[in-house]
A and B are shown apart, each in its own frame.
Chain A
Amino acid sequence: QVQLQESGPGLVKPSETLSLTCAVSGYSISSGYYWGWIRQPPGKGLEWIGRIYHSGSTYYNPSLKSRVTISVDTSKKQFSLNLRSVTAADTAVYFCARERESAYALWGQGILVTVSS
């Protein structure tokens, strides 16, 4: 059974970098699929952040592109999100998910990250 699990700090200070990791179990990242990050501010809708292929190819939301880096470590069976220079507007539940043809059938449970001093 394939499972995804997000981990990282639940509180980040303004102007710092938000760093999250998604651990993949039950499937080898290097076998295929895109692996993505999606976020949801409290009480609001879903926002696509970006995706990475096992080869390392990345695609980002243009509105976040200047601050986002997604990376993959196939040996550790995980992929990561770094979001720089965060503000309160980056407070959200962050989900990692597995993508096939732009559809996300498999999601992590999500992790709430609050940006506050």
Chain B
Amino acid sequence: QSALTQPASESGSPGQPITISCTGTSSDVGGYNYVSWYQQHPGKAPKLMIYDVSNRPSGVSNRFSGSKSGNTASLTISGLQAEDEADYYCSSYTSSNTVVFGGGTKLTVL
């Protein structure tokens, strides 16, 4: 299975919105509503931010939202804050009943 495609890096200024894309195929992202997004700070375990494309776990800020169109999923952060600077990973269920991650996006808050 091939990793989902994410931009290697994104950046934005505090208060601005930013969107990170995650592109797969009809066998993963496009075929199922089981896309998740994770935030990872250096030296820490990933933290689930979005599941089932657009659902937020309890305790996650409503500044984080998810969506999907075709084979591409997106994570949008509205009103960037300094603490949002981290690596972000998407993942998806696949037609082989496995899970595949994206390559990760390093988000910089300018």
Contact = CB atoms under 8 A, between A and B. Distances in A.
Contact of A61 (B1, B36, B92): B1
Given A107-B45, A108-B45, A110-B45, A102 B101 contact: no
Contact of A105 (B3, B48, B91, B103): B48
A61 B11 CA distance: 32
Given A47-B101, A61-B98, A103-B51, A109 B45 contact: yes
A27 interface: no
Interface of A: 36, 38, 45-48, 50-51, 59-63, 95, 99-105, 107-110
B34 A103 contact: yes
Nearest to A108: B45
Contacts of A61: 1, 98
Most buried by B among A36, A59, A102, A109: A102
15 contacts: A46-B38, A46-B91, A46-B101, A48-B99, A48-B100, A48-B101, A51-B99, A62-B96, A100-B51, A102-B92, A104-B38, A104-B48, A107-B46, A108-B45, A109-B45
